[in-house]
Structure 1
Amino acid sequence: MESNPTYLPVVAAAIGPDGDGRWLMHRRPEGKAHAGLWEFPGGKIDAGEGAREALVREIEEECGLSLDPETMREAAFAADDPRGGTRARPILLLLYHCPRWSGRPISREGGEWQWFAPHRIAQLEKPPLDRQLCARFFG
């Protein structure tokens, strides 16, 4: 019988669109996995934390935006292939559409923040799971 992997749940935010139809993306800082690549911002879900709660916390910690959890909706997911991966635990990445927020993004933990139109996001260099999420979310 094949064993079932224990996935590491991670949340990501599709924040937007802003008044110009753009979406917020984060460029990973040097010294981190996937350094220099663009991603939907987010992070790990802590023990005892819900997905929306984790996303609100992560976005506030990373860039100072306050998300409205009442307006978030599940948008897409992507998962690592558990066979032959390089991580100790494969990642399950859950994307939420976050249409309401307050504040302006600032870099609190490194990296770069920028707003992009969907066609431009498709052209950005992204980690594999973010490429999958981009294709599923923007079509």
Structure 2
Amino acid sequence: MRIDKYLWCIRYYKTRSIATKACKEGKIRVNTDIVKPSREVYLHDKITVRKNQINYALEVLDIPKSRLGAKLVDMYRKDITPKEALQKLDLLKYSKEYYRKKGIGRPTKKDRRDLDDWFEEPEEPKKTTDEEE
């Protein structure tokens, strides 16, 4: 099976064309070699995928016939990603929070609408003709 199709089948990429693009950009390695999208995948190959600034590592256990459900993915690959890489993912989450915490900086469109609703003066009830006399 082709490497781009394999990565799509085991749900590392949402579409096959995204997996193909990642291969062309050199983000996919098989046994430490940068590969083209047409490279065949065999049992016990070690694949490294660079995605979202993290190097995921996996080992091929079996070749699926088609795209799998999320619960069945672990039957076809073994995740051998180092713990340091997964800890880096946690650091990335915290760094994103650093740039804009809620309530700091320019308000979003939703924040602005909420502020407008808050400061809007309540409408006075309309007077009927009987009350005017």
Q: TM-score, normalised by structure 1?
A: 0.24
When Rg is computed on C-alpha atoms for both structures, the one with the higher figure is 2
Instruction: Determine which structure has greater relative contact order: mean sequence separation of CA pairs < 8 Å that are 6+ residues apart, divided by chain length.
Output: 1
Query: Which structure has the highest strand share of the two?
Result: 1
Which structure has more helix as a fraction of its residues? 2
TM-score by length of 2: 0.24
